[in-house]
Amino acid sequence: MDQHYLNDEFDQFLKENADQHKMYPSDRVWANIKRQQHGDKRRVAYIGLFLLVAGSLLWLTVNPPAAYRHPVYSALPITVTQSKPTISVTVDDIIAKLRAKSLIPPMEIDAPVKLKPLGIRQRYFATLEDAMPVLLPPVTEPSPAREIAVNKPAPELALEYHEITLPASDNQRLAGLDDPKIDTYPGASPFDNEHQHEMALPPIDLKKNRSSRLSVMMSFAPSIGYRNLFDGSRKITGPGNSPVMVQKLDVNEFVDHKPAIGFELGGHLKYELSKMITLRGGLQLNLARYNIQAFAHTLEKASLPINNAWGYQSDSLVVYSNIRNIAGNRPVQLKNQYLQVSLPVGAEIKLFGYSKFQVSLAGTLQPTYLLNADQYLLTNNFTNYAKEPSLIRRWNLATGLEAFFSYQRGDVRWQIGPQFRYNLLSTSNSEYPIRENLMEYGLKIGISRPLY
């Protein structure tokens, strides 16, 4: 009994392991077996479709559509019978037709403005020969083959008057006349010399067609500010905490300054002096600044060098500072920023271009006034930074140079280009020995339009 039970377990074990190792054919194998046993029905459908397309193409080749058939010309001669029309219209008939068309039926249209009646004579000619002296210029030597009665007077034809009333819209255009009704002959010309009236036409404004020489421009320029710093040939010596004590010190070797971002905003009036030169002037606001890397320190006494009238150092100004230039407790970053308002005056010169696209060069002189006075100055031996508003120069003179591309769309002209601005005078008074000249590099964007 146990043996039978063990055999059943062994058989079950073999069955379970055999099921895991069975291999089943894929669908593609079964499809190939089915195709070999029963044949491929798709092949018959493909052959039938091919025969149908080939037969259709052959039929279209033999029997093309009517739109693509070439015309077949008959070899038999074609006889065309043309009958010569009979002309029965004379010159008198044409003149009578023109006279009938020139007659204007009477009509009444009310109008608020009265026009004076125009008494105009209208002449008609009985024959075409009578009208030839008027229609053709005078001939000095008449041709003998063609006899024309040049001096023959043309008969005048008396016609009835017809009353015509103009609409109100036409009367407004012909202001200044009295009667809205015009008594005239049918077909009468208003250019008759006997009764010709002057008509008041509306005035024409020529200012719109006249190009204005004066224009206004608004501009904005993000800029990078920096400075030129030098002490010239002066010697700055004296007691201080600087580790370097030499007879001459270069100030740029003992300071750590970095450029900073500023801006320019302005409004200008421009006058076109000629096609090549344009004058400009306006009001401008500039913010120029740069960063100072320094060190914080406890408050200590320092001195600012002062020059006398002859340019030599003779005295010093005592100040207190908690900022050191070379060594201190911790690093700090300071800013020297200058907010200036100026009146730029200069000119533009067009280098090349046409009415829409131009390349120009501009230069300006800018009297400048400093609005703030809280800048840092270097003390003796470049040891400390201190503020002393009494040594800051308020009035300065700057110059600007720019090159720009301009494009005009309608009445508006856009311009963009680089510019350079430089302060000709130092930011401090002449009493302070270290000179500092500000400079700005910017990208100027402007928009201008004429003033009518």
Q: For residue 102, what are its two tokens?
A: 């020139």
Q: Are residues 345 and 393 in the same domain?
A: yes
394 lies in a domain? Answer: yes
Location of structure tokens 């809280």? 374
What is the reported pLDDT for 96? 72
Residues 380 and 406 sit within 8 Å (Cβ to Cβ): no
What is the reported pLDDT for 414? 96
What is the reported pLDDT for 51? 83
Average predicted confidence (pLDDT) for the chain: 74
Amino acid symbol at 294: A
55 lies in a domain? Answer: no
CATH of residue 420's domain is: 2.40.160.20
Helix (H, G, I), strand (E, B) or coil at 4: helix
Residue 408 burial by Cβ neighbours in a 10 Å radius (0-12, 13-18, 19+): middle
Q: For residue 267, what are its two tokens?
A: 């409004």
Give the whole-number percent of the chain exceeding pLDDT 90: 38
Q: Are residues 168 and 262 in the same domain?
A: no
Residues 314 and 433 sit within 8 Å (Cβ to Cβ): no
* Segment 245-262 mean pLDDT: 80
pLDDT at 291 over 60: yes
DSSP summary character for residue 70: P
Split into its structural domains, the chain has a count of 2
* Segment 376-392 mean pLDDT: 91
Give the whole-number percent of the chain exceeding pLDDT 70: 59
* Segment 57-61 mean pLDDT: 74
pLDDT at 418 over 90: yes
pLDDT at 91 over 80: no
Q: Are residues 99 and 248 in the same domain?
A: no
DSSP summary character for residue 27: H
Distance CA 369, CA 345 (A): 15
Q: Are residues 242 and 147 in the same domain?
A: no
Q: Are residues 111 and 248 in the same domain?
A: no
Q: In this structure, are strands 313-324 and 384-387 parallel, antiparallel, or unpaired?
A: antiparallel
Q: Are residues 423 and 354 in the same domain?
A: yes
Q: Are residues 241 and 176 in the same domain?
A: no
269 lies in a domain? Answer: yes
Q: Are residues 281 and 169 in the same domain?
A: no
What is the reported pLDDT for 241? 46
What is the reported pLDDT for 385? 95
Residues 389 and 382 sit within 8 Å (Cβ to Cβ): no
pTM, to two decimals: 0.54
Q: Which residue has the higher pLDDT, 380 or 402?
A: 402
Q: Which residue has the higher pLDDT, 86 or 280?
A: 280
DSSP secondary structure, 88-156, as one string? ---HHHHHHHHHHHH----B----SS-B----------SSHHHHHHHHS---SS--TTS---SSPPPPP
47 lies in a domain? Answer: no
The pLDDT-based confidence of 75 (bands split at 50, 70, 90) is very low
Q: Are residues 374 and 275 in the same domain?
A: yes
Full residue range of the structural domain in which residue 242 is found: 214-293+333-450
Q: Are residues 99 and 161 in the same domain?
A: yes
Sign of CA dihedral 24, 26, 32, 38: positive
What is the reported pLDDT for 176? 47
385 lies in a domain? Answer: yes
Total Cβ atoms within 10 A of residue 381: 24
At which of 184, 203, 235 does a domain end? Answer: 184
Residue 143 burial by Cβ neighbours in a 10 Å radius (0-12, 13-18, 19+): exposed
What is the reported pLDDT for 209? 47
Q: Are residues 219 and 140 in the same domain?
A: no
312 lies in a domain? Answer: no
At which of 164, 184, 204 does a domain end? Answer: 184
6 lies in a domain? Answer: no
- State in Å, rounded, how far the first CA of the chain is from the last one: 124
How many helices and strands, by DSSP H and E, does the chain display? 6, 14
200 lies in a domain? Answer: no
Q: Are residues 221 and 173 in the same domain?
A: no
